[in-house]
Amino acid sequence: MTLKKKILIGYGVAFAIMTLVVAWSVVHLISLGKATDAILSENYRSILAAENMVDSLERQDSGILLIFLGNFDKGAAQFRENEAVFLKWLARAKDNITIDGEAALITSIETDYAEYRKTFFNLTGKAAQQPVAAVYEESIFPLFNKVRKECIHLRNLNEETMYAASVKAGHVAKRAIWSTVVVAAAALIVAFIFSLFLAERIVQPIRRFMEASRKISSGDYAVQIPVETRDELGRLAREFNEMATQLGRYHEMNIDQIISEKKKGEAIISSIEDGLVVFNTDLQVTAINPAARRMLNLMFIENAMMQCDDILPQSHVCSLIRKIVDTGMQPDVPDEQKILSIEEGDFHRHYLFTVTPVRGRDQGLSGIVMLLRDVTRLKEVERLKSEFVMAASHELRTPLTSLGMSIDLLMEQAASMLPENHQDLLDAAHEEVLRMQALVNDLLDLSKIEAGKIELEFENITIEPLFKHVREVFKSQADIKSVELTTEPNGDMPEFRADANKITWVLSNLVSNALRHVDKNGHIHLAAKRIGPNVHLSVRDDGPGISPAYQSKIFQKFVQVKGRETGGTGLGLAICKEIVRAHGGTIWVESAVGQGSTFTFTLPVFQ
């Protein structure tokens, strides 16, 4: 016998008894409810008709009073309108007679109302000749009061009948409910006693399932449940045993694959020559490869004991990682801030780091990966290159100065005695010497700035003197080229701390570049405005513009836009960038081919 049949036999009898009792009670209650609803519905319609007749009768009486007060048109219209309403509800009351005495009462209302209307029509024309109070009180008001009382009586009669029917239905319903409750309780007791016996028979194999599930969750996939019946529980036991067997096979296969993949991943990470550190969202180290341990001197420290602030000596790196955790986005970090320097005795090692957020299945942040690349050798090569450039430039300055003085003496004293072609060669030599001197001076300035040897004399300055000086310096050059050099009024700009000479040099270099590229009758505009804690200074021209391919490169050394005769050394913008960086600001360009260029740099406001 199946489990389903066992349960059906147990509950069948109790359910049949309950069904018969409930069916009898439901049928009785339904019939009683229908009869009561019919009575209540009829009584309600009669009550509604009586209420509306009283209301329309009172409005008719108000219309009569308006007529006797002199407002004949309004009063007559109100009487006619409510007369139709009264007759409509009187007809509905006549069609809904269900109570003894209701028919006689409705006939009386109909008769008295006809007399009321007749009296109104007879006395309407006499309202102007007789005293208003006497005509109304003697002829109309008694009939109005009588009809009104009869309508109220009709309403009260139906209300009493409606209440009596409700009380009767309530008593019958209570008796039916109690009888249903008693029989249902008896059936439930019988079903409960049987269910205890049946539940024990069902729960016993279920307990075996629970025990087997605990063993599987603890890793014992060899567990089996004995099959003792052929019902649903027996089939479930066979399926459970099959599932346990399959789980055991899958567990063995999956564990081997997971271990293999884990070892493969660990081997790959360990073989990487670059350092790799993984942080969780609490900035705790969760994984680190041997290369990173060597770089950060963490060979004998456990991962669980390492926090970001403990292993990284420079606080801005941990601040960057914490910012990624807070925002979930990878911030844009300048290249010069991506260098991590670690001291090893008297020697410093430099590492280029990149920080990347790791997201889970729901795109939520699950960790941060930091990659460290040793760039110590590159930094040393760059240092040696800068020192070589500085030394070479310094050594070239003396012979260039002597050569320039010699050419100047020749041009002053012997140029007139030379043939014209020799004079042209002398002029060309003079220009090349000047160009070489400018290049050497720029190289020396740039080398000093990069080496941190440049001295900045900070003071509180304003914008207007800087712009005024630039206008005076380039006024003659702008006039020769017919270029309009303008500045934006900036009288309300705040002070900022800077080296006035160095910032003037940056502005002059930007204006000089603009004059070199802008066409005749062009325009150069200098502007300054405050945005947050910084002052933005900009130089805008309407020249040929800069191609997007060069906009990210022109601030590098010796980079010049191809196809233009610049006459410069390619170091001016690089020096501008280093000077602005030394002041704690940034510089960039916004340009489009054929639409001019705008060079902007920032300086912090003095606080």
Q: Is 528 left (phi over 0), alpha (psi -120 to 50) or beta?
A: beta
1.10.287, 1.10.3470, 3.30.70, 3.40.50: which CATH number matches 381-450? 1.10.287
- Write the pLDDT tens digit of every residue in 186-210: 767 876 776 777 677 667 777 777 8
* Residue 552 main-chain phi, psi, to 5 deg: -90, 0
Residue spans of the domains in the chain: they are 3-192, 272-372, 381-450, 459-604
Give the separation between CA 587 and CA 539, rounded to whole angstroms: 11
Model pLDDT, residue 129: 45
- Write the pLDDT tens digit of every residue in 137-157: 777 788 888 878 888 887 787
CATH no., domain 272-372: 3.30.450.20
- Cα angle: 406, vertex 412, 413; to 5 degrees: 90
CATH no., domain 3-192: 1.20.120
CATH no., domain 459-604: 3.30.565.10
- Write the pLDDT tens digit of every residue in 16-26: 666 766 666 66
Give the separation between CA 541 and CA 308, rounded to whole angstroms: 48
pTM of the complete model: 0.42
- Write the pLDDT tens digit of every residue in 487-545: 886 667 788 888 888 888 889 889 988 888 888 889 999 999 888 888 899 999 998 88
Residue 127 has pLDDT above 50, yes or no: no
- Write the pLDDT tens digit of every residue in 416-469: 777 777 777 777 777 777 767 666 666 666 666 666 656 778 888 888 888 888
Mean pLDDT on 47-62: 80
Model pLDDT, residue 491: 60
Model pLDDT, residue 600: 93
Instruction: State the pLDDT confidence band at 130, using cuts at 50, 70 and 90.
Output: very low
Q: Which residues pair with 589 in a beta bridge?
A: 599
- Cα angle: 526, vertex 528, 529; to 5 degrees: 150
Rank 240-249, 325-334, 447-456 by mean pLDDT and report only the highest.
240-249
Indicate the SS3 state at residue 234: helix
What percentage of the chain reaches a pLDDT higher than 70?
Answer: 74
Model pLDDT, residue 583: 84
Nearest Cα neighbor of 132 from 70, 76, 80 is 70
Report whether 353 contacts 341 (CB < 8 A): no
Q: Which long-range contacts does 375-384 make (Cβ < 8 Å, 24+ apart)? A: 375/339, 375/350, 375/351, 376/348, 376/349, 376/350, 376/351, 378/350, 379/339, 379/350
3-state secondary structure 121-175: HHHHHHCCCCCHHHHHHHHHHHHHHHHHHHHHHHHHHHHHHHHHHHHHHHHHHHH
Nearest Cα neighbor of 432 from 567, 525, 324 is 567
